[in-house]
Structure 1
Amino acid sequence: MSAPELSSLWDEHMLAPYPSGFRGVDIAGVELILLDADVAGLVQRELHGGLDDEGVAILWGCIAALDKALPLIGDDYCATYYAHLRTMAEHVAARYLPAAT
């Protein structure tokens, strides 16, 4: 995914209101609002210069947390919001995969 495409996903995310009623909610040991903040910060870092090794490691941890929590979110809007967050995280992470040989 190109930087303009990631930027477009980011713009969409910024327009989406945080799911009401999900502040402070923990699902399967994942505090949703903190996960949102972590992924948002990592996407911003990627858009403004890229991630270092620690950022990449944190990003993969966020993806694992999203994969754990997403199937358990029972609210449609909240699930869609976090699926979009997962899509952004996946696109950033793809930039840091080793090339196939």
Structure 2
Amino acid sequence: MVMLDADAYGFASGVLAGPLSEQRRSGLTRLTPVFEKVLPMIDDEYATTYYTHVREMAVLAAEIESLRRK
């Protein structure tokens, strides 16, 4: 979970800095399904809320990156 958090933050801050490379864009795209898989397994309310917000941040970063390419 710590690595997912770090990856999401890294991709989101990269999107804010400018367009992502193809490799980083691919990594960001692969991140959301991983969150979808692990979120239901978390049994701590605080952790579930926190990682749901982190997932939302990754989704928004992907949307920004997608809009940037259009």
- TM-score scaled by structure 1? 0.61
> Please, which of 29, 50, 59 is the counterpart of residue 19 of structure 2?
50
Question: How far off is 1:51 after superposition?
Answer: 1.4
Answering whether residue 36 of structure 2 is matched by residue 67 of structure 1, we say yes
Superposed CA RMSD = 1.6
> Please, which of 47, 51, 65 is the counterpart of residue 78 of structure 1?
47
Question: How far off is 1:64 after superposition?
Answer: 1.2
Question: Runs of 4+ in structure 1 displaced over 6 angstroms?
Answer: none
Deviations 1:48-95 (A, max 9, x none): 113122111101111111010011111000001100001111111113
The correspondence of residues 12-51 of structure 1 with structure 2, limited to 5 A, is: 32-51=1-20
- Paired amino acid for 1:74: D
Q: Which structure: larger Rg? A: 1
Question: How far off is 1:47 after superposition?
Answer: 1.1
The structure with more helix, counted as a fraction of residues: 2
Structure 2, unaligned runs of 5 or more: none
Structure 1, unaligned runs of 5 or more: 1-31
Q: Provide the identity percentage.
A: 35
